[in-house]
Amino acid sequence: MSGLRGESVVGVVEPFLMPVEDLFRLRQGRAVMATGRIERGLVRKGDPVEIIGLGCGATALIADIEQNHESIGEAGAAMNVGVLLSGIAADAVKRGQVLATPGSVGAHTRFTADITLLSEEQGGADVVTGDRLRFHTRAAAVRGTVALPEGTERVRPLHRAEVTVVLEEPVALEEGQPFAFRHHGRAAGSGTVMRLPR
């Protein structure tokens, strides 16, 4: 593996995953290069990847991998790279999606989360059922509606609660995944995905 950090301690390579942070249209818009920092796993030229979230579920092939404007044969976790995708319309790829080993992660609009609000001085404000928040996870930013547990009227700054979130667009989510959220246009708190629909 030539020093790439795509392996776990026992030597089993985790499924590849890279958030799409930026895009470059090439060849008069007929090709697209997605850039980002590989979160885990290993990817090689010719590998199939699934484009997940924000309305896409298509599969593309890795035509090339670039690091510092040089073509490389493979890339692993923690590397910042650009990957040239083939077999996909250039306008199908967006910031906020993820590229991943096919079948390894799903896109969801609904999840249960444990959230903690910032202090009022930091931007935290009361959250009640029905509030629309802006959720930020990996490179995605999507609005969603929050529902508090039955019998809980509100969550106050510096408090935590288990809530249900319904997003307006599907994004790649996994249990244990961290996120931040904004309320009334200000940073308001953070959370962790606890459960996803089965």
| Alpha carbon distance 179, 115 (integer Å) | 9
78-122 per-position pLDDT tens digit: 999 999 999 998 889 999 999 999 999 999 999 999 999 999 999
Residue 12: is its pLDDT beyond 80? Answer: no
Q: Is the pTM of this model over 0.85?
A: yes
Whole-number pLDDT of residue 29:
67
Tokens of 147: 């529902």
**CB burial readout 16-46, b (16+ within 10 A) else e:** bbbbbeebeeeeeeebbbbbbebebbbbebe
- State the CB neighbour count (10 A cutoff) for residue 90: 17
Which DSSP state fits 94? -
pLDDT band at 11 (very low <50, low <70, confident <90, very high): low
| Alpha carbon distance 102, 105 (integer Å) | 8
Mean pLDDT within 3-32: 76
121-166 per-position pLDDT tens digit: 999 999 999 999 999 999 999 999 999 999 999 999 999 999 999 9
